[in-house]
Amino acid sequence: MGNKQNIIKSVKNIFSPSDSSFKPYDWMIKSTPQQEWIKEKGIFLWLAFFFSEIGAGLYFMSMFFQYRLGLILGWLITLVLGGSVHMLYLGNPKRFWRILTNISSSELARGMWVILVFAILGFFQIFTAKFNPFLNCMLGIICILIIMHGFATMNVIKALPSWNSTMVLPLSIISGIWVGSQIFQFMLSVSGSLASGFEIWSELFLLVYIGLIVFYLWGTFHSSEAAKKSINILLKGELAKGFYIGVIVLGIVVPLFFTLIMWGGNVNAGLIFFRMVFVFAGDLALRYLVMKSAVYQPLI
């Protein structure tokens, strides 16, 4: 029991080290860390964005390959997992309806309306098996909007420059599609479909994902002093262990290793499954650390 508690404590220290104490006036003269979006109920928002976006990513991939089982699972992940965790974040269901009325001023409200439209149109497509170009185009756009939902909600906050970076939205799109594509490929491999034919897309998505992480780090580092501090926290500061273990090793190096094994056509469900698990862990770590490392631009 003691060993288990020590392991849990070590993981918490890697990904969420203790915050330094700040004086009440520090937010005016220093780049102070944001806490509302990633502590306590903020954890629910992190998970809600993740589930909504990977579900939409799975639906997006399944739609273009007309894979009905993938549509059903993607729809359920987005609405049941993503929606339920959204409600846990809001606490009181009445707040959900109150937020929906703020569509003109709230990015979170706009995202929820998009998810509601997705619920209706997705239900229609799944249970009528309609794959006409117009419906596909509409749902494709809606899926992209849902994939962008979490980071778009963060991106509008100009006081947090690392979230306001121009690379946040492109990274969010490839992140949702990359993780969703891994669930899709695993489902293909289990059902006996030609998962090997999809591997070329996985290789492409992984390379683009790695490239956009690099561009995000580079672009954000050079955008402002507060943004630079956020990247330094990730690469050299208190979150560095979490970044190198969670994002670099689990999210990039290990999936790249499995991808190289399958490069010559040795594609099987076991390798795809293990890669998918590490992709999940790495992407969750990336999203958490991007949220955790954000610091406010000082007023003075």
pLDDT in tens, 98-122: 666 667 667 777 888 888 899 999 9
Given this model, what pLDDT does residue 94 score? 64
For residue 262, give the DSSP letter: T
For residue 195, give the DSSP letter: G
Chain-centre distance for alpha carbon 38: 14
Percent of the residues in the chain that have a pLDDT greater than 70, as a whole number: 81
Instruction: Find, among 199, 206, 185, the residue nearest to 262 by Cα.
Output: 199
Which residues, 6 or more positions from 161, have their beta carbon under 8 angstroms from its beta carbon?
A: 220, 223, 224, 226, 227, 230, 297
In Å, what is the CA distance from 71 to each residue of 62, 150, 239? 6, 21, 36
Given this model, what pLDDT does residue 84 score? 82
- For residues 2-15, average pLDDT: 52
Q: What is the pLDDT of residues 254-269, one digit of tens each?
A: 999 999 998 877 788 8
- For residues 23-32, average pLDDT: 54
Q: What is the pTM of this model?
A: 0.85
Instruction: Find, among 27, 23, 49, the residue nearest to 290 by Cα.
Output: 49
pLDDT, mean over the chain: 84
Residues 109, 90 contacting (CB under 8 angstroms): no
* Cα dihedral value 268, 273, 274, 277, nearest 10: 160
- For residues 135-148, average pLDDT: 93
Q: What gap in Å lies between CA 135 and CA 182, rounded to an integer?
A: 24
Given this model, what pLDDT does residue 28 score? 46
Instruction: Find, among 211, 112, 230, 229, the residue nearest to 171 by Cα.
Output: 211
pLDDT over threshold 90, residue 6: no
What three-state secondary structure class fits 91?
Answer: coil
- For residues 169-185, average pLDDT: 95
Q: What gap in Å lies between CA 162 and CA 232, rounded to an integer?
A: 11
List, in sequence order, every residue forming a beta bridge with 143; answer none if it has no partner.
none
Alpha helices in the chain (DSSP H): 2-15, 26-29, 42-64, 68-76, 83-90, 93-100, 107-128, 133-155, 168-191, 199-221, 225-235, 240-242, 254-261, 269-292
List, in sequence order, every residue forming a beta bridge with 295; answer none if it has no partner.
33
What three-state secondary structure class fits 239?
Answer: coil
Helical axes 225-235 vs 199-221, angle rounded to 10°: 130
